[in-house]
Structure 1
């Protein structure tokens, strides 16, 4: 009786014509579901529409409006349906409240429908499969993921009519566990329908994952059609992560595209990441350099203190007495009482650090000056100009002044598409194993760190080959320290060493060997950050200066015994070279073993001789160098350990 009453209720919602159709073909299912637009290349929340779906024995029809008052929007003849199956979302975030998609493939179209639960989706898929099982046009293979932005996400095919990439099962659905074979079916070959499946189990769906909301740390102007422009401070939703350096994001207008991963931060990752005055991973020495470069009264930044979880305000003032300028460092203190409060001056407590900063931007209140002008770090380099764009069109490059002539050929300042400053290295003919390098360049481009000179791409279609990298305004580290000899204090020289060690720590963690680490292969930018350059390039250089009589390439005065004796390279051989680089830094650019020829250096090092302690290096700092020069590679420090030792030395000298 109850079933009959329910059926009557359903029939009363339909108009007279539809009522007759339902009476003739019988109503199977009726639900409010969400339909995705089939016409849009890009999808946004505006392309997801709530519709009343009605399934009968002959048609799938969908309507706009309520069951009582509705307008027909579309209809599909069941005999023309080729496939009904759930959709694996493949990490795609769904911008509507229904998170359980399934697909109805018919004619030349794919209808994407979103159910409110896994159970309702299974009901629809199972019932529709039952109705189409005798269709002659059922597909052998289907696409288990979405067609989105001109590509099948499962197999990356760009033809919308491309053959599916996964075998289609007309019985059951892929959200369930496989059913056991039906006894006797294996030998008869008859397609018998399996028994009704057990009630659906609770399964954890990819679609249930929470959206990751991020905040843009910097502006980013997308240069390719596949990119998304970022506006500093605005929120975005991460759609997918296919690469460590690039992710696909969606803005508030529903537009999607690729953005650099290092230009965004998780919204709830930390309390300060979204503020322009917060400079993560900036040490005391670097903070002072940045503030002095700006040379503005009240210039300030908030940075991480040496103690984990603590913060320091670094503040620049021009009125330090007798016309001198200075940088003051104020630790942000925390109260012992609950709830926790923050303060710089005892009388002025605040419930958060942003509130504290806002107050002192208007009131000095015990500080040497009020916080007038936030000084931040410049936007970081991106791994390539866009996602998976490593081959650069030479016509996009503008060649400007010559910067120098290196091992490879002439290096010029240039611009890419008349807007991004770059360094362009023209590889002279016969200077390198070109084919091997081109393959390696794809790997090297994915290495991205604030203390590595970024490789943007290569031009390989014509000769000469060009290598396009980040432009470093102040040039080679060796020349930089030689030209300013006598102006460096111990803390500044330690800061230079720290920058290099952090870049090398990243290479070490990624199992990448430099093979030619030296001051000449590090560069300095206009923010006085030192970055490691030309990592991994030594393998491809054809240069007599780097080739021994055994045909092995190495710079002798920077090489450990296992390299010049056995040609054995590792991160530990890079550690030895780093010790020599540190020595170069603390002698302000002197040549190691300057009185000795290469063959004499090989003999001296093999007999245990080591470089002397520079005058500007304390015994503690010289210990770091010596930890790099132990005879057995396994006895040498790692770059992670070196970073800690330098950090400790900086704290001791602060």
Structure 2
């Protein structure tokens, strides 16, 4: 124990927002060693440290950053301080100001040579989806107050070089990029893309369309489906664990591998297919790429590298603790490109003569939905709005705004046909159909990761809508779709505002989906992002019951009465306590005590990271 610098009991604010209250305070024993901060549960009777919980930040092995000043006043009447990790802020509370100052001084000494110390920080708490000091709504937003640190003498360290991020060119600068996907031009002004070909980005007209130039020199419009030059072919951005396993099993090569984004932001995972031990069917293994105190990358602790490409090159020749050496690169470049925002730059009103209906997919509250083609080539879904079901003029005014909403976990609105009746809504087509049907009929004996990835997809799509201050109002499994790769996307966001007559009617005559609604909606018709959070909890319950009807033995009138009196859905058999606690956090009586979608997405990511 001689290497312990400081040891003290602090009150720690929970980082696991899955608790029934997002602000949950518990006493923990904190131990500071050189370049390492850990905290523990503590058994006072036995006088021994207990095993850390799975969420223990000590697994990161070092303090990455610490602020120089103090937090704002706390209702706990204790002295607060904050420690910033790559994953976010950790809030702790000391019994006296003297203890707090002592720990801040020592923590600053321990992290002074870290290469990524914060230049700015947030002096106040992150709570209810925003920073209390500056009202910014993005948790990773740059701080609003200078750290006022004195310059420190430089200390040479290896510079980590993870796979390249997506480019963000400015409207005034040109950037060379390489296409990651094939893209077939949809209009005369579009630029076709070929995988591996080099292009120059000339202008970013919006987040959805770039002006680009090919090797022949002509400028055309292109969707942003490129990466900076010389990407590594083994790097598969935005790929889930389930998608990686499907791709590796399809290749069926011992030692087939790829590198993908981990469920935790900024982290990476190596997925490997192996037939070790004579297993002819093979199995998939997943290894998180870790970093040591010097910022070096490793899969096996004895083999450290300054960047990820060097790590991959080494393990292509040496298993060194892996089930197999990395023999064959498995790439996803043959997969289809992400959906574009619209069917061409500036296109939102679609000529119905360019649409061909092929088959009926089903019918919903607005009318029939059909699978079809646009200009005979591009797959689309066509909603034919039955007259009298929608406030059409209001929707048409909103359609342009809805088209600009673009996220990998939202079904893309391509455009509308408004010059005839019935009007059409043209959207991205997802081949695996409705999530509710997929849960009931499309999966058997699901893996825990598969169910959790569905929750992750929906939470990230909804976190984006939340960041755009956009309410869904009818979030449920029936309003999510599944693509050919198993990715879940949220659809019909905001459409319930334009319903003139539908099946969701309470005893008071108000229109909303009763089984997915919180007490403030049932009683007062008060919608907010927190009512969407409640519905997300019910959607999680649908996922973990494989599509059962919520409150299946109750009618709408009973649901209004019982839910308002405290009734909650039971824990599904497939959901463990940690999963169910996220659902229960969504069903808090007080809207302000429910987590934000950004927090929910982070919690689900943490659970996925533990499973990997």
Interval containing the TM-score (normalised by the shorter chain): 0.5 to 0.7
Deviation at 1:604, TM superposition (A): 0.5
Instruction: Pick the aligned partner of 2:551 from 588, 593, 598.
Output: 593
Indicate the RMSD between aligned Cα atoms, in angstroms.
Answer: 2.9
Partner of 1:54: none
Instruction: Pick the aligned partner of 1:559 from 497, 513, 517.
Output: 517
Instruction: Pick the aligned partner of 2:331 from 375, 378, 381.
Output: 375
Partner of 1:622: 580
Deviation at 1:230, TM superposition (A): 2.5
- Three-state SS of the structure 1 residue aligned to 2:238 is coil
Q: Deviations over 1:577-623 (max 9, x none)?
A: 00000011111111110000001000001111111111111111111
**2:404 is aligned with 1:446:** yes
Deviation at 1:392, TM superposition (A): 1.3
Q: Distance in 2 between matches of 1:632 and 1:503?
A: 24
Partner of 1:251: 214
Task: Give unmatched runs, 5+ long, in structure 2.
Answer: 1-169
**2:431 is aligned with 1:431:** no
**1:556 and 1:372, CA in 2 relative to 1: closer, same or farther beyond 3 A?**
same
Partner of 2:540: 582
Q: Which protein is bigger by CA-based radius of gyration?
A: 1
Partner of 1:300: 257
**1:327 and 1:307, CA in 2 relative to 1: closer, same or farther beyond 3 A?**
same
Deviation at 1:425, TM superposition (A): 1.5
Deviation at 1:506, TM superposition (A): 0.5
Counterparts of 1:172-211 in structure 2 under 5 Å?
Answer: 210-211=173-174
Q: Distance in 2 between matches of 1:402 and 1:435?
A: 26
- Three-state SS of the structure 2 residue aligned to 1:414 is strand
**1:620 and 1:370, CA in 2 relative to 1: closer, same or farther beyond 3 A?**
closer
Partner of 1:329: 286
**2:242 is aligned with 1:264:** no
Deviation at 1:422, TM superposition (A): 1.4
**1:221 and 1:320, CA in 2 relative to 1: closer, same or farther beyond 3 A?**
farther
Question: Is the CA contact 1:391–1:457 (under 8 Å) kept in the aligned structure 2?
Answer: yes
**1:324 and 1:230, CA in 2 relative to 1: closer, same or farther beyond 3 A?**
closer
**1:363 and 1:461, CA in 2 relative to 1: closer, same or farther beyond 3 A?**
farther
Question: Is the CA contact 1:457–1:467 (under 8 Å) kept in the aligned structure 2?
Answer: yes
Range moving further from structure 2, 493-502 or 463-472: 463-472
- Three-state SS of the structure 2 residue aligned to 1:411 is strand
Question: Is the CA contact 2:264–2:609 (under 8 Å) kept in the aligned structure 1?
Answer: no
Instruction: Pick the aligned partner of 2:241 from 284, 287, 297.
Output: 284
**1:398 and 1:615, CA in 2 relative to 1: closer, same or farther beyond 3 A?**
same
Instruction: Pick the aligned partner of 1:572 from 516, 520, 530.
Output: 530
Larger RCO (CA within 8 A; separation ≥ 6): 2
Q: Distance in 2 between matches of 1:363 and 1:456?
A: 48
Range moving further from structure 2, 231-240 or 380-389: 231-240
Q: Deviations over 1:194-252 (max 9, x none)?
A: xxxxxxxxxxxxx9965344332222222222222223333433322232211212234
Deviation at 1:573, TM superposition (A): 0.7
Q: Deviations over 1:142-198 (max 9, x none)?
A: xxxxxxxxxxxxxxxxxxxxxxxxxxxxxxxxxxxxxxxxxxxxxxxxxxxxxxxxx
Q: Distance in 2 between matches of 1:477 and 1:208?
A: 39
Partner of 2:427: 469
- Three-state SS of the structure 1 residue aligned to 2:369 is strand
Question: Is the CA contact 1:291–1:375 (under 8 Å) kept in the aligned structure 2?
Answer: no
Deviation at 1:383, TM superposition (A): 0.4
- Three-state SS of the structure 1 residue aligned to 2:558 is helix
- Three-state SS of the structure 2 residue aligned to 1:488 is coil
Partner of 1:644: 602
**1:252 and 1:358, CA in 2 relative to 1: closer, same or farther beyond 3 A?**
farther
Question: Is the CA contact 2:506–2:556 (under 8 Å) kept in the aligned structure 1?
Answer: no
- Three-state SS of the structure 2 residue aligned to 1:329 is strand
Deviation at 1:265, TM superposition (A): 3.3
Partner of 1:123: none
In the comparison of the two structures, how many residue pairs are matched?
440
Deviation at 1:564, TM superposition (A): 1.9
Question: Is the CA contact 2:181–2:193 (under 8 Å) kept in the aligned structure 1?
Answer: yes
Partner of 1:239: 202
**1:275 and 1:439, CA in 2 relative to 1: closer, same or farther beyond 3 A?**
farther
Instruction: Pick the aligned partner of 2:356 from 373, 383, 398.
Output: 398
Q: Distance in 1 between matches of 2:293 and 2:585?
A: 41
- Three-state SS of the structure 2 residue aligned to 1:303 is strand
**2:455 is aligned with 1:497:** yes
Question: Is the CA contact 2:473–2:496 (under 8 Å) kept in the aligned structure 1?
Answer: yes
Partner of 2:180: 217
Question: Is the CA contact 1:317–1:369 (under 8 Å) kept in the aligned structure 2?
Answer: no
Q: Distance in 2 between matches of 1:324 and 1:472?
A: 30
Q: Distance in 1 between matches of 2:313 and 2:377?
A: 35
TM-score scaled by length of structure 2: 0.66
Question: Is the CA contact 1:315–1:371 (under 8 Å) kept in the aligned structure 2?
Answer: no
Range moving further from structure 2, 457-466 or 530-539: 457-466
**1:358 and 1:460, CA in 2 relative to 1: closer, same or farther beyond 3 A?**
farther
- Three-state SS of the structure 2 residue aligned to 1:545 is coil
Range moving further from structure 2, 352-361 or 552-561: 352-361
Deviation at 1:487, TM superposition (A): 0.8
Q: Distance in 2 between matches of 1:550 and 1:293?
A: 54
Question: Is the CA contact 1:299–1:375 (under 8 Å) kept in the aligned structure 2?
Answer: no
Deviation at 1:368, TM superposition (A): 2.3
Q: Distance in 2 between matches of 1:359 and 1:415?
A: 47
Instruction: Pick the aligned partner of 2:378 from 387, 400, 420.
Output: 420
Q: Distance in 1 between matches of 2:447 and 2:457?
A: 16
Partner of 2:562: 604
**1:289 and 1:208, CA in 2 relative to 1: closer, same or farther beyond 3 A?**
closer
Q: Distance in 1 between matches of 2:303 and 2:596?
A: 44
Q: Distance in 2 between matches of 1:645 and 1:307?
A: 10
Instruction: Pick the aligned partner of 2:478 from 520, 535, 544.
Output: 520
Counterparts of 1:93-108 in structure 2 under 5 Å?
Answer: none
Deviation at 1:490, TM superposition (A): 2.4
Question: Is the CA contact 1:290–1:527 (under 8 Å) kept in the aligned structure 2?
Answer: no
Deviation at 1:255, TM superposition (A): 1.3
